[in-house]
Structure 1
Amino acid sequence: MLAQRRYELIMQTLRAEGPVSVTVLGTRLGVSQATIRRDLAWLEEQGLLTRVRGGAAASPSLEPSFAAVATEAHRAKDAIARRAAGMVEDGDVLLLDIGTTVHRLAVHLRGRKVTVMTANMAVYEELLPDPDIELILLGGVVRRNYKSLVGFLTEDAVRQLRAGKLFMGTSGVRADGAVVDTTVVEVPVRRAMIAAADQVILLADAEKFPGTGFASVCGPDALDVVVTDADEGTEALGALRENGVKVVLV
């Protein structure tokens, strides 16, 4: 395998999974640990990763920050969030996923008498001053760059809960209606949230069709509602409807 190809595969793995050991990288790429160490040393010189004990982690600056992502399609995201807020009734118990569109939903929930459970630190910061909202912040490992909490502590916390509605974001929706993500560490938490909710509502702007991502979160059968500004002719919308998902066009 050419060195350039190894570099690409190493960076893909680190971005998707977080810190990874030299042993794991060597096994996946089919090369010696000595080769992996030389590759990591070169990538570190380029400022692409940080060496950690026994392995490496991608430089945090490589992942778009929450603030940067929030500026993308912000008008569409706000319109979707406003429509989704109209689906919330006083007294509802809500799970709010990570992501910038879900954060915009939180903005439109201020002043409502609801319970919000979340691993989204931006949502927590938004709703903290609001005395009308019962706010529950889930524990976990902090992903500072994206203002989220992840890991087994977050998953375990979600498993103790039950919500009437989950509002979920995504990196992409494939033509067959499958929901995917670019960050593997977020997937287990999302799956736990889906299992903990009576109704799953996906918030996805047009750019998420197909968007990006390779890690499977769920199939269309796990969704109840999708709120989007995607064009009516988008192939994935047909697949979603065929699976019984209600599509709300904004």
Structure 2
Amino acid sequence: MSKREDRINNIISILKSSNGSSVKDLANELNVSEMTIRRDLKTLEEKNIIDNFYGAAVFNPREDNPVNKSDEFSYSISINSHKMEYQKNCIGKKAAEFVCENDVVVIDTGTTTEKLTQNIDNELSFTALVFSANNLIHLLGKPNAEIIVSGGKFHRDTGMFEPSIDMELVKNTRTNKLFLSAAGVHEKLGITCAYSYEILLKKEVINNSLEVFLLVDSSKFGNVASAFICELDYIDNIITDRGISDEWVEIINKMGINLIIAD
């Protein structure tokens, strides 16, 4: 195998594991010039192995990817629930502090938001709009919680109920707080998730909420998934763990987003 072939295979491995990377970061990691990386990325893009966005390259999970026929990208809520579990639990406990008496909240799908639902005070009176099976199950054990469920098609991979096309119930529900999840947080490419069927619902609840809390563990920063939710400046608060880099702390503070570090 030539040096170039070896380097290209390394690029693919990096992009698959990180969900996205910049030309500069790839050049630094592989100890080559940015021009060399750009040429490699162009080759990969022409072969449908990656998608090359402004400022970041992202592994292409679609069926037309020739290196991905037997290893198609997937997200499984059961598998992901065990990743960064300690950090997610810390984030969930901290987020639960922001659910107050008589609040009307939206709790997004995901394994981090599930930790929020688990940690809400059992005696608290509040209303929650949910569209995932795991969050619904946890809320059933809270006697003073009024539950609104979106209903619709059930997706086993994410545990999400996808509402009907018109989404009347979701459109007509106004909330004072949204607890949002994401697969990737990127300075230029914004907030992203794994599947396109998640987008419409997430955009709707963002528009219908007074305050948006993004709940993400530190591994999500710098990542890019395929489905775009919103720009980073739509977020009012970010709750994450102590693993967040100094670079990202600076980015978030410069944007005027309230950063909350969970212990």
Fold match, TM over 0.5? yes
Say yes or no: does 1:101 pair with 2:112.
yes
- Residue 135 of structure 1: which of 144, 147, 160 is its match? 147
2:197 maps to 185
Report matched runs for 1:90-129 at 5 Å.
90-111=101-122, 112-129=124-141
2:215 maps to 203
1:68 maps to 79
Q: What letter matches 1:178 in structure 2?
A: G
> Could you say what secondary structure the match of 1:180 adopts?
strand
Q: What letter matches 1:64 in structure 2?
A: Y
Say yes or no: does 1:239 pair with 2:251.
yes
1:8–1:204 Cα change, 3 Å: closer
2:62 maps to 13
How does the TM-score come out when normalised to structure 2?
0.70
Distance 1:233 1:176 in 2: 17
1:78–1:154 Cα change, 3 Å: farther
Does the 8 Å contact 1:85/1:108 carry over to 2? yes
> Could you say what secondary structure the match of 1:72 adopts?
coil
Stretches of structure 1 lacking an aligned partner (at least 5 in a row) = 15-24, 30-38, 49-57
Distance 1:158 1:89 in 2: 21
Distance 1:230 1:216 in 2: 26
How many residue pairs align between the two structures? 208
Q: Post-superposition shift, 1:185?
A: 1.3
Distance 1:102 1:66 in 2: 12
Q: Post-superposition shift, 1:239?
A: 2.5
Distance 1:113 1:194 in 2: 23
Does the 8 Å contact 1:140/1:154 carry over to 2? no
Q: What letter matches 1:13 in structure 2?
A: R
Stretches of structure 2 lacking an aligned partner (at least 5 in a row) = 1-42, 52-59
How does the TM-score come out when normalised to structure 1?
0.73
Give % identity. 22
1:53 maps to none
Distance 1:195 1:168 in 2: 12
Distance 1:186 1:64 in 2: 13
- Residue 229 of structure 1: which of 227, 241, 253 is its match? 241
